[in-house]
Structure 1
Amino acid sequence: MTTELSADALNGLLERARKDYQDLAGRGLSLNLTRGKPAPEQLDLSEELLSLPAGRHTAADGTDVRNYGGLEGLLELREIFAGVLQVPVGQLLAAGNSSLELMHDSLVHALLSVLPGAESRWVEQERIAFLCPIPGYDRHFALCERFGIEMIPVPMTAEGPDMAVVERLVAEDPAVKGIWCVPKYSNPDGVCYSDETVARLAAMNTAAPDFRIFWDNAYAAHHLTDEPVEIADLLAACADAGNPDRAFVFGSTSKITAAGAGVAFFGSSPANVKWLLANNAKRSIGPDKVNQLRHAMFLRDADGVRTHMERQRALLGPKFEAVARILEAELGGTGLARWTDPKGGYFVTLEVPDGCAKEVVRRAAEAGIVLTPAGATHPYGDDPRDATIRIAPSYPGLEELEQAIEGLAVCVRLVGYEQQAG
């Protein structure tokens, strides 16, 4: 990645970087790019939710949403999101506010009850492992750590996880029970899985008969360009390949409407849906159907979701454009960094020279710019190359974001040139 420099040229660049960093540290900044939270302006787009359902308490099918029951969730809301998430309405559940909660519960149920196709509960087996494409989502990794599930890193490519590695690992090791996937505008590098990757995931031979793909389609509707990316239908591909129970599909409205007060979804085969409902019936008498009704009323239909997400894009797009513009102006041609230019989602991945990410994050924090910890994009918080930094542009205002990215670039130049100077 680095560019060869003469000693004099390197010394000059290093001195300039040190001066720029002193100026940065003296500005008294307090900026935070740690999490991909919607900005207040994005949340304001759903303000109408707070006044709904405005006296109405009956769903389209006559359900009184104020009462118990209805573990499947409201049909009218499931109809809106069935196409978005590529799940038939009859195989899609609408639940509480958090898809992460659904992933947590799916793991717990797999540990404590027998999955369709399984020979025993996971908790009764000596070793359980999950494949973790890297860079990846830190909360997926935290769930594995929480339950003592071994994590096996798998390299990411421009088309998704390296399928040669995935196919080898799942075929030879019966302890490998699952793989984490963010298939569309993935967290954090924005990769979208190719049709071939989806087909190979669906059809591959697995040593574990109860292998599951945890398909976290968190950014299914979160486009940033005029040409939305579409991915292949995993559930249909699994059914066609003779593995109908292989996929668990997750999604939510957390970054569509009100973060923390949205609706989460689970989709899978009829057998898996029946399995999850039976287990959930022991922990809940039904989801928040009042909230589901207000979402159905607010979004109205799939076209309503698309229109709403265009409004979101109008707010997010300029921020992602600013990140790309500043990184190119400050780091382009230096050989000190590479970064992604995602077509959707919530993150930009910045790659710095090996051995520099932690120090860049530390220097940025000392200058008042807080970033996601280096290593968070890898299992156990360990990036072997110490090279990956996740940027979350969504929450700050545009001016604050520009200041943060300019400051981050200063830190990259300082640490990178210090490393070259030895």
Structure 2
Amino acid sequence: MSLLDLNADQLADLATNVRRDYDELKSRGLKLDLTRGKPSAEQLDVAEALLELPGKGDHVDADGVDVRNYGNLKGIRDIREIWAELLGINLDQIIAGDASSLNIMFDLVSYSYIWGTNDSERPWKDEEKVRWICPVPGYDRHFTISEKFGFEMVTVPMLEDGPDLNAIKELVKDPSVKGMWLVPMYSNPSGITTSDEIAKGLAEMETAAPDFRIVWDNAYAIHTLGDSFRTSTNVLDYAEQAGNPNRFWYMSSTSKVTFAGAGVSFLASSPANLAWYTGIAGTRGIGPNKVNQLAHARYFGDAEGVRKVMQRHSDILAPKFRAVLDILENRLGQYEVARWTEPEGGYFISLDVIDGTASRVVELAKEAGIALTEAGSSFPLHDDPNNRNIRLAPSLPPMAEITEAMDGVATCVLLAAVEKLGA
């Protein structure tokens, strides 16, 4: 039954049992970590063959160019063709870079701040105020970029089919609103996928700022937890058809597909946006690591090769996510003290506890040797107004540690709840 339905004696008995469980939990001397969505060693081993590629004597790309030399700011066609097919994007609308898409996102905002976009009347640094739309709960590193540049962050809720479009349409009537973050598939941390209807609405809506941009960070497009892959929405086509071709900066990468620190990043956008970006990036550097790009192209072979790799990742990740969800249901479901998402892909589970108790849950877990992401991390400035959201990241630890950690987290959620009720 719901915790709120217990009478005083039942609540007192439960509180006694939960405190006993918590004392036993602390006595174990645990050192467990559920903080960040890093691939496990087992997942990293999937790409072990990449370390031997492209191999001695293999250094010419599909266009007959030696990848060991300078040049080709847009990246080699071999890897761009694979990712364009995966995302359903035209080849001439995607470029390949280094390492992580986060680097490109930071550069895009930096360039806009210093010089303005190709649609800007002036550099963003010269604006009286820059406001940025942040769907919540959302990706903390997105918010950190906005914070670094001093942008005012305005939150909108993530609904079951994506960000609240009506709220966004009202906000973009303000010319100081210059951009928006969004993880459209298996969002971080809730696992929500933005519907085609919402995507079209974002592409078509009128904005007061002519240089309004949406960072469409499709980081988890191919990160399924099942046996099938969703089709990515081609928002670039929607935007062009709506007469707003420059609206989206579309991001992707291999960061959690191969090696996080040695991957390939991708930026897809309109020809005008790509020309603006490369025009500045060409001053920053002469070209990306094309040897690494060729190695990735050889490793994957084609788009179907990427899907086969991701199915191996799914086989590793899915049981971990299932274990977390089963423990949450078995330990907390009957008391109705928490709600959680059941994602079909991505790297996170979003856990909402009783209002006002998230920070206490994290504190109790820390005292018991279980590291959780700081409460409020999925909100700008780490400020969750309801103090209810906790992001769970089951990917890194081995299964035995996940089950032990999540059982402990459930105990902490219950203890924080009975404390809140004064028991």
1:373 aligns with 2:374: yes
Structure 1 residue 2: Cα displacement: 5.3
The equivalent of 1:262 in structure 2 is: 263
Q: Deviations over 1:88-129 (max 9, x none)?
A: 111101001011000000000111123122211111111111
> How many angstroms apart in 2 are the aligned matches of 1:162 and 1:363?
33
Q: Which amino acid letter does the alignment assign opposite residue 123 of structure 1?
A: K
Q: Deviations over 1:201-234 (max 9, x none)?
A: 0000100000001000000100012343334211
> How many angstroms apart in 1 are the aligned matches of 2:196 and 2:373?
31
Q: Which amino acid letter does the alignment assign opposite residue 329 of structure 2?
A: E
Q: Which amino acid letter does the alignment assign opposite residue 44 of structure 1?
A: D
Aligned residues: 421
Q: Which amino acid letter does the alignment assign opposite residue 120 of structure 1?
A: R
The equivalent of 1:44 in structure 2 is: 45
The equivalent of 1:157 in structure 2 is: 159
Aligned pair in 2 of structure 1 residues 335, 208: CA closer, same or farther (>3 Å)?
same
Give structure 1 regions of 4+ aligned residues with deviation exceeding 4 angstroms. Answer: none
Q: Which amino acid letter does the alignment assign opposite residue 255 of structure 1?
A: K
1:144 aligns with 2:143: no
Q: Which amino acid letter does the alignment assign opposite residue 88 of structure 2?
A: Q
Give the TM-score, by structure 2 length.
0.98
Q: Which amino acid letter does the alignment assign opposite residue 294 of structure 1?
A: A
Is 2:358–2:375's contact at 8 Å kept on the other side of the alignment?
yes
Q: Which amino acid letter does the alignment assign opposite residue 369 of structure 1?
A: I
The equivalent of 1:195 in structure 2 is: 196
Q: Deviations over 1:312-367 (max 9, x none)?
A: 00000100000111111110120111111000000000100000000000000010
The equivalent of 1:212 in structure 2 is: 213
* Pairs within 5 Å for 1:281-300: 281-300=282-301
Q: Which amino acid letter does the alignment assign opposite residue 124 of structure 2?
A: W
Q: For the aligned residues, what is the CA RMSD?
A: 1.0
Structure 1: runs of 5 or more not aligned: none
The equivalent of 2:60 in structure 1 is: 58
Is 1:355–1:386's contact at 8 Å kept on the other side of the alignment?
yes
> How many angstroms apart in 2 are the aligned matches of 1:154 and 1:87?
28
Instruction: Name whichever of 51-60 and 180-189 sits farther off.
Output: 51-60
> How many angstroms apart in 1 are the aligned matches of 2:88 and 2:118?
21
The equivalent of 2:250 in structure 1 is: 249
The equivalent of 2:278 in structure 1 is: 277
Instruction: Name whichever of 1-10 and 183-192 sits farther off.
Output: 1-10
The equivalent of 2:92 in structure 1 is: 90
Q: Which amino acid letter does the alignment assign opposite residue 41 of structure 2?
A: P
> How many angstroms apart in 2 are the aligned matches of 1:406 and 1:289?
46
Structure 1 residue 74: Cα displacement: 0.6
Q: Which amino acid letter does the alignment assign opposite residue 21 of structure 1?
A: Y
Give the TM-score, by structure 1 length.
0.98
Q: Deviations over 1:374-402 (max 9, x none)?
A: 01000011000000000000000000011
The equivalent of 1:182 in structure 2 is: 183
Is 1:10–1:421's contact at 8 Å kept on the other side of the alignment?
no
> How many angstroms apart in 2 are the aligned matches of 1:337 and 1:228?
29
Q: Which amino acid letter does the alignment assign opposite residue 65 of structure 1?
A: V
- Find the residue that maps to 1:156 and give its secondary structure: strand
Is 1:192–1:231's contact at 8 Å kept on the other side of the alignment?
no
The equivalent of 2:10 in structure 1 is: 9
The equivalent of 1:121 in structure 2 is: 123
Q: Deviations over 1:251-295 (max 9, x none)?
A: 100000111110000010000000000010010011001100100
Aligned pair in 2 of structure 1 residues 2, 11: CA closer, same or farther (>3 Å)?
closer
> How many angstroms apart in 2 are the aligned matches of 1:68 and 1:266?
20
- Find the residue that maps to 1:351 and give its secondary structure: strand
> How many angstroms apart in 2 are the aligned matches of 1:405 and 1:83?
38
Is 1:86–1:233's contact at 8 Å kept on the other side of the alignment?
yes
> How many angstroms apart in 1 are the aligned matches of 2:326 and 2:4?
21
Structure 1 residue 5: Cα displacement: 1.4
The equivalent of 1:409 in structure 2 is: 410
* Pairs within 5 Å for 1:349-368: 349-368=350-369
Q: Deviations over 1:142-189 (max 9, x none)?
A: 001111111001111001111110001002x10000110000000000
- Find the residue that maps to 2:391 and give its secondary structure: strand
The equivalent of 1:347 in structure 2 is: 348
Is 2:356–2:388's contact at 8 Å kept on the other side of the alignment?
yes
- Find the residue that maps to 1:287 and give its secondary structure: coil
2:72 aligned to which of 70, 73, 77: 70
Aligned pair in 2 of structure 1 residues 40, 342: CA closer, same or farther (>3 Å)?
same
Percent identity (aligned) = 49
